[in-house]
Amino acid sequence: MNRPASVPALDRNWSLVAAGAVLGCVAIGAVFSLAVLLGPMGAATGWSRAGLSAAMTLAFLSMGVAGFGWGLLSDRIGPRAVALAGSLLLGLACVLASRAGSLLQFQLAYGVLLGAAAAAFFAPVIAATAAAFERRRNLAISLVSAGVGVAPMTLSPLVAWLITRYDWRTTLLIVGVLAWALTLPAVRFVRAAPAAHAAAPAQAAVGAPPATMAQALRSRAFIVLGLAFFACCAAHSGPIFHTVSYAIGCGLPVTAAVTIYSMEGAAGLGGRLLFGALADRYGAKPILVGGLLMQALAAAAYLAVDQLDGFYAVALVFGMAYGGTMPLYASLARDAFDPRILGGALGAANLLSSLGMALGPVVGGWLYDRYGSYTWLYLGSMLVGLAAAAIALAFPRAPRESGGLRPALQG
**pLDDT the model gives residue 204:** 39
Top-ranked range on mean pLDDT: pick from 10-24, 63-77, 227-241, 282-296? 282-296
Helices 14-31 and 79-98: crossing angle in degrees, nearest 10, is 20
pTM: 0.75
Using alpha carbons only, give the angle 201, 193, 408 rounded to the nearest 5 degrees. 30
Query: What is the 3-state composition of the chain as percent helix, strand, coil, each rounded to the nearest 5?
Result: 85, 0, 15
The reply to whether 11-194 and 209-396 are identical in fold is yes
Question: Per residue in 71-129, pLDDT tens?
Answer: 889 988 989 999 999 999 999 999 999 999 999 999 999 989 999 999 999 888 988 88
Q: Which of 36-40, 123-127, 235-239 has the lowest mean pLDDT?
A: 36-40
Question: Per residue in 284-318, pLDDT tens?
Answer: 999 999 999 999 999 999 999 999 999 999 999 99
Please state the separation of Cα 214 from the chain's center in Å: 24
Let me know: does 125 contact 20? Beta carbons within 8 Å.
Answer: yes
Question: Per residue in 332-363, pLDDT tens?
Answer: 988 888 888 888 888 899 889 888 887 887 78
Let me know: does 113 contact 93? Beta carbons within 8 Å.
Answer: yes
Question: Per residue in 169-201, pLDDT tens?
Answer: 999 999 999 999 999 999 999 987 654 444 444
Pick the CATH number of 209-396 from 1.10.3720.10, 1.20.1250.20, 2.60.120.260, 1.10.443.10: 1.20.1250.20
**Domain-by-domain residue ranges, the chain?**
11-194, 209-396
Pick the CATH number of 11-194 from 3.80.30.20, 3.30.1600.10, 1.10.3720.10, 1.20.1250.20: 1.20.1250.20
Torsion of CA 67, 14, 263, 393, to 10 degrees: 60
On the question of pLDDT at 207 being above 70, the answer is: no
Top-ranked range on mean pLDDT: pick from 17-26, 44-53, 234-243? 17-26
Angstrom distance (rounded) from CA 2 to CA 372:
63
Q: Which of 25-39, 67-81, 310-324 has the lowest mean pLDDT?
A: 25-39
Helices 375-393 and 284-301: crossing angle in degrees, nearest 10, is 170
Angstrom distance (rounded) from CA 396 to CA 327:
18
Average pLDDT rounded to a whole number, residues 259-277: 85
User: SS3 for 29?
Assistant: helix
For residue 193, give the nearest of 79, 280, 353 by alpha carbon: 79
Angstrom distance (rounded) from CA 115 to CA 106:
12
Let me know: does 17 contact 276? Beta carbons within 8 Å.
Answer: no
**What is the end-to-end Cα distance of the chain in Å, rounded?**
11
Angstrom distance (rounded) from CA 61 to CA 241:
16
